Structure 1
Amino acid sequence: MPIKLENVGIAVRDLEEAIAFFTDLGLTVLGRDTVSGEWADTAVGLDGNHAKIAVLQTPDGRGQLELFEYIHPAAIDTHPTLPNEIGMHRVAFSVDDIDASLEIAAKHGCRPLRGVATYGDIYKLTYVRGPSGIIVMFAQELKKSTGN
């Protein structure tokens, strides 16, 4: 059976703040909606499910994020995850210029967890604490691979 990744869904405290962060990084908003009703309750498994959503796409057209801000039931604020916690870990992006990406993140008050690391002579990478505590990884390839 073929399977295809459709999107990664992330609940956020403030939908507009999250949209601003990700669109500044280069993603585009494909659509926005408010969802509720029996179908939403059934699909998500929450009674009275009511949320504002936005679907964003990466510039290459291959990746999508679905961001949602809960109206009902009330969102449950938790401590931001740590890199070694079990569960949803992070969203990762390949970037052409890690320094430029970090400048954009900084405009939104988002900073690396520790700094920028170099993995061999292959990547520069960092984890940034994004809006709503989301861990966002930036990876800049240092040299293009010669294989296929």
Structure 2
Amino acid sequence: MAVRKLEHTGIMVRDLEQSIAFYTDIIGMTLKSKLLHTNGIIELAFLGFPDQDSIELELIQGYNDNLPAEGKVHHLAFTVDDIESEFERIQQLQVELIDQGIVTLPNGSRYFFFKGPDGEHLELFQTTRT
């Protein structure tokens, strides 16, 4: 098969700079590049994690000004080592939580959801899978 990996996930945003700041300051991603689309309207930013090329996030401004609260991509999940400390950190940053707290799955994996700057659903996930 010719497909080798998921290239990136695109999220439409209202304010590119605000979203870049959120994903770098809150999530810990780094800005890889920014560019203006060939149509001269859409602005793109690509973010990733240092020393890890398999995950990339594309932020898209100017494609659709009428963003739905929940779009085709339901959520993005990020792996963490210590769900409790991340939950406390997110609460201290006054980021809006979705639901009430940390959920434990039957296999012992744990997660919680919160909102990004455009209402996108984000998940921090501590897995028990190896």
TM-score (norm 2): 0.81
Task: Report sequence identity in percent.
Answer: 30
Aligned twin of 1:131? 117
After TM superposition, what 4+ stretches of structure 1 lie above 3 angstroms from structure 2?
99-102
Higher helix share: 1
CA contact (8 A) 1:8 1:64 kept: yes
2:73 matches 1:88: yes
TM-superposed CA distance for 1:2, in Å, is 2.1
RMSD of the TM alignment (CA)? 2.3
- 2:54 counterpart SS class: coil
Stretch deviating more after TM superposition (92-101 or 59-68): 92-101
CA contact (8 A) 2:16 2:59 kept: yes
Higher strand share: 2
Aligned equivalents of 2:75, 2:108: Cα separation in 1: 20
Distance 1:74 1:63, change over 3 A: closer
Distance 1:121 1:5, change over 3 A: closer
TM-superposed CA distance for 1:120, in Å, is 3.1
Equivalent runs, 1:1-148 vs 2, <5 Å? 1-3=1-3, 4-24=5-25, 25-37=27-39, 50-59=41-50, 60-70=52-62, 75-78=65-68, 80-81=69-70, 87-102=72-87, 103-104=89-90, 107=93, 109-114=94-99, 115-120=101-106, 122-141=108-127, 143=128, 145=130
Aligned equivalents of 1:69, 1:101: Cα separation in 2: 28
Aligned equivalents of 2:106, 2:15: Cα separation in 1: 37
- Runs of 5+ unmatched residues, structure 1: 38-48
Aligned equivalents of 2:21, 2:38: Cα separation in 1: 24
